Structure 1
């Protein structure tokens, strides 16, 4: 079988699952303060040492300080996303993921033994750094090791890992929402970090990154391991060609048997036809690499170079807008408001259960997304999600205006389902799908930094807006969702069953 026709070779799936341990840890860090929050900062015995002589029962904090302590991981995420680009270029995807586990391990351990608020905040910051770095490196790694026909499903595994982490944090948090067990709750975030530290060493690095470092033999070996017994000639030629051009790729892959080189070129043409590439008016491929003067892989682009290259600028703006939309569409605000809804309709214990139901809805719809991504394509799924987010935001306003509690609850669940099926996973997937290796780190770093920035801004500003205009604030998110639909329709190319190199060539047709 040709590797371009493969779907889910077992070793590739194993590498993706190991990489997604970071996503699970990310989700757990996000969800860990939700249920045990009261036991953490507002227990009856305060900072007394009744249950343990070495540690205070809890860490007393005002609501505002607690809010900052919890959201401080977003600051860490911002830092991690900014350093992630240069790190994954220099060290590679695999080593960056391994190094990234340190923040989860040290951060989780520090929070679990905190004796004051400062230790708790520093632990959240360190965990956040790993969340930010991982949110850049893991989707990149998954996109670069996955087969063309399974990249949607594999890419959604990143969001699926986050959702599982949030869900388990809520479930595990229930029995641990007591003194002193809340400490165990935060320490659990270190477990997937420890597991990934050892398991990641059994995975190969990204073949595309290895090619970018001119480690051609290693790249071929890595790709062959990922694809099992499948024939990788066409796929490997296209990977090399995408970075150094056709002439240079032929030279790099040339072997004593000249017939084989010709065969590789023919296979490259077949791959282009399979992925939908077209000839230009003169009857040949539109790529400047045909006259490549050497066989060196193209060096990684800086952020400045990204915005001075018309093709990369278009790709970067597409990715950045998707990441901004993901946060500005209001998922964190809806989750925040859901607590208010549930508290107004149920007692404290039932509100906790309803919060868990919300995470279950998120979990189930992410599973739907997992299987729909490679069937429906990215654009249709994302547009359905954006329409859903718009409709349910409007229903939230109606439910608030006329005080219809049941409508409010249904709207929260509907909104979360809409987000989970498309708006949540697709921006991370698209980041790794449309940016070539030599630009992916810079573009990914910009987009991820913007994502974490918007995450923090929404977390800080929404409570102020909500206090002023209450439920009408969701008109903002309905408007963002409507704009997102228009943007997706006109600006986002379909990436289903297309190689990264082919998608980039599609953008090159618009070169100024």
Structure 2
């Protein structure tokens, strides 16, 4: 019996082979490392500050040094994955991740900790660019969307696991174990990467066509599918990437790059990563003790995981803009209430519980909207010839904006107070509602070719999906 199906336009697809699924699952584990690295620092900051007797500003540097490394890693990941290949780039990311994790656990000074976190950032910057690229190139087309969604889900799962691990080690104030133990999944990921094949697309780009066909035999198994995929890759590679030259020459492309950059700034200034990096400090401000701070932080991680499924199920039913509107309204209300309650001070038990619930509602708003959808939109609005350049610019911006948020939150708390700080983030989410209305196109059910054609014809950004 044939394992293939043919759709209306004659395109042959095949049921996913076990080896292809294994390759996708291993690559998706890069998302788990990503999430672990984001989540692990939140539970450690209090104990690091106590041991080294350092200020909030030094803690901000320890937190944000990871994002500085990630920005640099993401900036070089494109050329790295083109020269070394996707597999070797993932291996390099895994090695840096393991080394950085171990150094974090062994750190004898804040300076060493900042350096180790920077190494971890390099690893995450490389992996966050390369893993989705590898997934897109290795996954059979009939499961490609679900595999890339799995990568996003693994990030949230990694954050949750880090929060749970932090909670367990917090009873012993063992911050070195909090930071160091994530080397174990890093080692397991590195071992798994050795078993992965090279990307067929990269092999063809490198002039190794016969190797690419052998890999496709392992991943696909059907000769018709293999011939079709090789022909499609070779056809796509005839369209050269002209990112920088196109950016200089074409004002319409500059508009799409600018939109991608703006969207990433929007995503970071929702305040989500403030909660991810400093959740225990936020719960301390509500009046909770250390144990409660850590358990509520784990609840933040669980809420983030569960709410991500909302986006996965609704994105192609509701459309991008309705989900973004809903998410920003929920986030603005959630943070506005949190700011109001924290501004009151000396909360009763009932008021504390209400404030926690509103913070979790904020998490739901982000995870169902700006979290996954910003990445989707950033890829959809870039024309084919400049897609790598456009996505590279938006990814770099994401980490820089992330770093700014991480490096300023405690200072804002200290100078402006808890209530005002959260009101500022709530106000930004209100501004973002208007930005979505003015600039963001509805791309639900619209082909990338149509979006590109509208862009190059000079249509308004909000009309690119019409």
TM over 0.5: yes
Please tell me whether the aligned partners of residues 211 and 240 of structure 1 are also in contact (alpha carbons under 8 angstroms).
yes
Per-residue deviation, residues 353-406 of structure 1 (Å, max 9, x unmatched): 111111111121123334444555544444432332233233334444666544
Q: Is 1:188 matched up with 2:181? A: yes
- Residues in 2 aligned to 1:180 and 1:71: alpha-carbon distance in whole angstroms: 22
Per-residue deviation, residues 473-505 of structure 1 (Å, max 9, x unmatched): 444434433443444456445566777667545
- Residues in 2 aligned to 1:384 and 1:148: alpha-carbon distance in whole angstroms: 31
Question: What are the residue-to-residue correspondences of 1:257-276 with 2, within 5 Å?
Answer: none
Distance 1:89 1:476, change over 3 A: farther
Distance 1:331 1:369, change over 3 A: same
Partner of 2:117: 124
* Aligned partner of residue 170 in structure 2, secondary structure: coil
Partner of 1:168: 161
Partner of 1:480: 428
* Aligned partner of residue 43 in structure 2, secondary structure: coil
Deviation of 1:92 after TM superposition, in Å, equals: 2.8
Partner of 2:400: 453
Distance 1:111 1:340, change over 3 A: closer
- Root-mean-square deviation (Å): 3.5
Distance 1:61 1:465, change over 3 A: closer
- Residues in 1 aligned to 2:445 and 2:141: alpha-carbon distance in whole angstroms: 5
Please tell me whether the aligned partners of residues 74 and 455 of structure 1 are also in contact (alpha carbons under 8 angstroms).
yes
- Identify the match of residue 468 of structure 1 among 402, 416, 424: 416
- Residues in 1 aligned to 2:250 and 2:14: alpha-carbon distance in whole angstroms: 34
Please tell me whether the aligned partners of residues 338 and 412 of structure 1 are also in contact (alpha carbons under 8 angstroms).
no
Per-residue deviation, residues 90-124 of structure 1 (Å, max 9, x unmatched): 22323222211121011112222233333222211
Partner of 1:347: 289
Please tell me whether the aligned partners of residues 279 and 293 of structure 2 are also in contact (alpha carbons under 8 angstroms).
no
| Count of aligned positions | 444
- Residues in 1 aligned to 2:431 and 2:150: alpha-carbon distance in whole angstroms: 27
- Identify the match of residue 75 of structure 2 among 54, 78, 82: 82
Partner of 2:463: none
Please tell me whether the aligned partners of residues 143 and 433 of structure 1 are also in contact (alpha carbons under 8 angstroms).
no
Partner of 2:256: 315
- Residues in 2 aligned to 1:184 and 1:481: alpha-carbon distance in whole angstroms: 36
Bigger fraction of residues in helix: 2
* Aligned partner of residue 169 in structure 2, secondary structure: coil
Q: Is 1:442 matched up with 2:389? A: yes
* Aligned partner of residue 20 in structure 1, secondary structure: helix
Deviation of 1:228 after TM superposition, in Å, equals: 5.0
- Residues in 1 aligned to 2:332 and 2:14: alpha-carbon distance in whole angstroms: 37
Partner of 1:287: none
Question: What are the residue-to-residue correspondences of 1:239-318 with 2, within 5 Å?
Answer: 239-244=233-238, 298=240, 300-303=241-244, 305-310=246-251, 312-318=253-259
Mean alpha-carbon deviation: is it higher for 217-226 or for 196-205?
Answer: 217-226
- Residues in 1 aligned to 2:32 and 2:65: alpha-carbon distance in whole angstroms: 19
Question: What are the residue-to-residue correspondences of 1:95-106 with 2, within 5 Å?
Answer: 95-106=88-99
- Identify the match of residue 43 of structure 2 among 22, 32, 35: 35
Q: Is 1:137 matched up with 2:145? A: no
- Identify the match of residue 231 of structure 1 among 225, 238, 257: 225
* Aligned partner of residue 175 in structure 1, secondary structure: helix
Distance 1:170 1:449, change over 3 A: same
Flag structure 2 segments of 5+ consecutive residues without an equivalent: 346-350, 461-466
Please tell me whether the aligned partners of residues 94 and 206 of structure 1 are also in contact (alpha carbons under 8 angstroms).
yes
Bigger-Rg structure (1/2):
1
- Identify the match of residue 24 of structure 1 among 32, 40, 43: 32
Please tell me whether the aligned partners of residues 39 and 159 of structure 2 are also in contact (alpha carbons under 8 angstroms).
yes
Partner of 1:333: 274
Per-residue deviation, residues 331-366 of structure 1 (Å, max 9, x unmatched): 123454773345434222112211111111112112
Deviation of 1:432 after TM superposition, in Å, equals: 4.7
Distance 1:478 1:183, change over 3 A: closer
* Aligned partner of residue 80 in structure 2, secondary structure: helix
Deviation of 1:416 after TM superposition, in Å, equals: 0.7
Q: TM-score by structure 2 length?
A: 0.81
Q: TM-score by structure 1 length?
A: 0.74
* Aligned partner of residue 108 in structure 2, secondary structure: coil
Please tell me whether the aligned partners of residues 389 and 415 of structure 1 are also in contact (alpha carbons under 8 angstroms).
yes
Please tell me whether the aligned partners of residues 210 and 218 of structure 1 are also in contact (alpha carbons under 8 angstroms).
yes
Deviation of 1:9 after TM superposition, in Å, equals: 5.7
Partner of 1:202: 195
* Aligned partner of residue 425 in structure 1, secondary structure: helix
Deviation of 1:32 after TM superposition, in Å, equals: 1.9
Distance 1:482 1:225, change over 3 A: farther
Question: What are the residue-to-residue correspondences of 1:386-405 with 2, within 5 Å?
Answer: 386-400=328-342, 404-405=351-352
Please tell me whether the aligned partners of residues 323 and 427 of structure 1 are also in contact (alpha carbons under 8 angstroms).
yes
Distance 1:141 1:208, change over 3 A: same
